[in-house]
Amino acid sequence: MLVVSQSSLDALVQAVDAPQETVPATVARLVGRTLAELGVGHVFGVVGSGNFEVTNALRLAGVPFTAARHEGGAATMADAYSRMSGRVGVVSTHQGCGLSNAITGIGEAAKSRTPLIVLTADTQASAVRSNFKIDQDALARSVGAVSERIHSPATAVADTLRAFRTARNERRTVVLNLPLDVQSAPAPAAHPGGHPAVVADAQPVRPSAASVRRLAHLINAAERPVFVAGRGARTAGEQLRALAAHAGALVATSAVANGLFQDEDFNLGISGGFSSPLSAGLIQGADLIIGWGCALNMWTMRHGHLISDGTAVVQVDVEDSALGANRPVDLGVVGDAALTAADVLSELRTLQPEPAGKYRTAENAAAIAERSRWNGVETPDLSGGGRIDPRVLSRELDAILPADRIVSIDSGNFMGYPSTYLRVPDEFGFCFTQAFQSIGLGLSTAIGAAMARPDRLPVLGAGDGGFLMGISELETAVRLELPLVCIIYNDAGYGAEVHHFGAGGTDEGGADVGPAVDLSTVTFPDTDIAAIARGFGADAVTVRSVADLKEVRAWVRERPARPLVIDAKIASDGGAWWLAEAFKGH
């Protein structure tokens, strides 16, 4: 538990007056020092005149800094870093256009409830005609972020602490505005009294005894229970495994928690659109589904199709407002996933002293081992004509790339392939920035994840459209000497739209399904992405067949300190298996 006392606050203020510093202490320096002392992990940004001093204050206080090529990239890097490190990341931007450039990445982080601080300059109140003048508070709130600001030199430490606590304890993305006139003002000699001690760590929510008893009785009565863990249960793996083993439950995750139950014999993998046919069938066969820190939304439950008639549904979450938000539940439990699982296990042992087999049969174990992942599902090979089947490509790369990896996913028609075919070692091996459903975030996601876990090989799955949209950050990856493997599923178009809107003509039975559609707005000439990548200083290979992957094997053996871009010319899949389901929500 991190406790910041009154004396510590005073020390933070006085630290900016240290003798080794020759430049007068300012509020900007005080804010940077305070954030560093509170333990922010890494700062990403594009530095301009408005955020120059506060960024350097963070650096001087020991916080690592990564310069991005675009503020949008910086925001997504910080988002991914926070998700994979468990620490509060920081984005640093210039006022006005710097913040607006970052807003898509901020929106993704806010919708994902990523603990993140966006440290942004703001124009002084008197600069009503400044070119940089925008309503930054309203902009932040419009994408779901919390807007805070440094109001004065006297309140600078308290304002910073409030922003940090909101980010960390409430799991929110906070835009902390630093008006130019306030940040350039002299810092106070000492904090002007009265600020109480601050406990920075949130206290986990323990469920009520009544809720624990009801949930234990539901589990005891069930014959085919399934646990689905989401983002809110990423720290509860041990407790959920123990409870599932005693309850006889199969386990699965939402996409963002992929890897949580890796190496578990009864792990169904990702629940929802990415589920294999076997996994989807077993989830549909459940008579009790419990969502642990999981929204049970249209993606995870396939618009409710994975919940059969008569199946009891339970949702466990730390926020009351989340319970039943996406679908009716039979029981909502307000509580931390780990504490709730531990308490329910204790209660269940009084009802059921010995572990129950239930859904954990030998038959199910054998089927799960063989067919729970798409790698084990037979599919026709669409390769030919200079293009490789994306499923064949993904299977081969899963075998070639080292198992100790951290996989990041951009958005698009392709995304199911790296998400389901590439194994990950645990819940910190998969970074899925999809809450805003924006393409173009993948490369920055991979860089931020790599900075959080430098011990693992970073791997990116992206489409050609999204990769080209964010390609400026390839220079960042080269400059950082990241051995980042970028798998580009290149179909020369925005594949989701091509397959969704291009379904004219006749179906397999010859029935008319509508007129053909002009797709020239979402298709492009083939782009030599490998050549472009080499121009950035990365290694690159064009893949049209399995034989072309020999260059990837050679790169893996050498593991140079630079990215590898795999420009894979993929065959059309006619629209990925999960796409039709996904578009029902559009």
Contact 361, 255 (CB under 8 A): no
Q: Rounded mean pLDDT of 376-381?
A: 91
Contact 112, 437 (CB under 8 A): no
* pLDDT over 50 (residue 505): no
Nearest CA to 103 out of 467, 151, 28, 111 is that of 111
* Residue 584's pLDDT band (cuts 50, 70, 90): low
40-82 confidence digits (pLDDT tens): 999 999 999 999 999 999 999 999 999 999 999 999 999 999 9
Task: Give the pLDDT score at 198.
Answer: 53
* pLDDT over 70 (residue 475): yes
Question: Partners of 339 in the beta sheet?
Answer: none
* pLDDT over 60 (residue 169): yes
Task: Give the pLDDT score at 291.
Answer: 97
Between vectors from CA 368 to CA 313 and to CA 571, what angle results, nearest 5°?
A: 100
Mean residue pLDDT of the chain comes to 90
Burial 113-128 (b: 16+ CB within 10 A, else e): bbbbbbbbbbbeeeee
- Encoded tokens for 69: 């090529």
φ and ψ at 25, to 5 degrees?
-70, 135
Q: For residue 432, give the H/E element and its range.
A: strand 430-432
Nearest CA to 519 out of 575, 461, 438 is that of 575
Integer Cα distance of 248 and 195 in angstroms: 51
* pLDDT over 60 (residue 12): no
Give the type of residue at 52: F
Task: Give the pLDDT score at 255.
Answer: 94
Burial 535-550 (b: 16+ CB within 10 A, else e): ebebbbbbbbeeebbe
Give the type of residue at 140: A
Q: Rounded mean pLDDT of 535-557?
A: 97
79 or 10: which leads in pLDDT: 79
Integer Cα distance of 285 and 428 in angstroms: 29
The torsion region of residue 502 among left (phi > 0), alpha (psi -120 to 50) and beta comes to alpha
Radius of gyration in angstroms for the set of CA atoms belonging to the chain, rounded to a whole number = 25
* Residue 582's pLDDT band (cuts 50, 70, 90): low
| Residue partners of 356: CB distance under 8 A and separation at least 6 | 246, 247, 248
Q: Rounded mean pLDDT of 491-513?
A: 62
Output DSSP code: residue 485: E
φ and ψ at 455, to 5 degrees?
-80, -5
Between vectors from CA 317 to CA 315 and to CA 320, what angle results, nearest 5°?
A: 95
Task: Give the pLDDT score at 203.
Answer: 85
φ and ψ at 564, to 5 degrees?
-120, 125
Q: For residue 534, give the H/E element and its range.
A: helix 529-536
* pLDDT over 50 (residue 299): yes
* Residue 196's pLDDT band (cuts 50, 70, 90): very low
